[in-house]
């Protein structure tokens, strides 16, 4: 499929079966991820692949993050909500957490590393689609909380960019209408 068609036809799909994904497919996806452009060749990509019982640990981190924002996490309603949050990682058989490492080159900027990892996430989504997998990129408050990266074992000063859920589609998603660039583009020609 031509690349422009692949980009325009890719769709996020959160409906996934529990079928395991061959680790070789995940390696192919991550090899595509690290082909994103990067300023000063800082190699900022940091990935954590979570599967199996590792999803319990992620669920615990997610629930702990939410509980810290509650006035009464022990109330019956909040306990039910926290149990629901703990189960969220089980919506997919594999979750790739993407983070950007702090640049070690003084003239490199953190925003450049984050931009590279963001592009790597798009590569993950496109590669997953090309390999017949369903994927959805998720973020949220926990992604940007100061302690999340450390709780998941990333090195100091790593900035998380997102959680990409991967699996085989259990439900097909209809194509989304796509905007054109016309409403978002100005031309400076002279």
Q: What's the pLDDT tens digit per position in 88-138?
A: 999 999 999 999 999 999 999 999 999 999 999 999 999 999 999 999 999
pTM for the full predicted model: 0.95
CA angle 82-84-89, nearest 5°?
105
Pick the CATH number of 3-173 from 3.40.109.10, 3.40.630.30, 3.50.50.60, 3.40.50.300: 3.40.109.10
Phi, psi of 178 (to 5 degrees): -110, 140
Give the dihedral sign, CA 35/41/45/46.
Answer: positive
For residue 176, what pLDDT is reported? 86
Predicted confidence (pLDDT) at residue 1 exceeds the cutoff of 80: no
Q: Which residue has the tokens 């090899």?
A: 31
The mean pLDDT value of the chain amounts to 96
């Amino acid at each position: 499929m031509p690349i422009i068609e692949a980009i325009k036809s890719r769709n996020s799909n959160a409906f996934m079966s529990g079928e395991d994904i061959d680790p070789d497919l995940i390696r192919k996806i991550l090899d595509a991820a690290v082909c994103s452009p990067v300023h000063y060749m800082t190699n900022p990509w940091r990935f954590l692949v979570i599967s199996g019982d590792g999803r319990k640990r992620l669920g615990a981190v997610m629930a702990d993050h939410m509980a810290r924002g509650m006035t009464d996490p022990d109330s019956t309603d909040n306990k039910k909500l926290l149990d629901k949050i703990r189960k969220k990682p089980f919506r997919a058989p594999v979750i790739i957490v993407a983070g950007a490492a702090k640049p070690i080159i003084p003239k490199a900027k953190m925003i450049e590393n984050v931009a590279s990892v963001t592009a790597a996430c798009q590569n993950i989504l496109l590669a997953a689609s090309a390999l017949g997998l369903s994927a959805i990129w998720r973020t949220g408050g926990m992604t940007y909380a100061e302690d999340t990266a450390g709780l998941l074992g990333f090195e100091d000063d790593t900035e998380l960019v997102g959680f990409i859920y991967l699996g085989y589609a259990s439900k097909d998603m209809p194509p989304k209408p796509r905007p054109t660039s016309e409403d978002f583009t100005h031309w400076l020609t002279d």
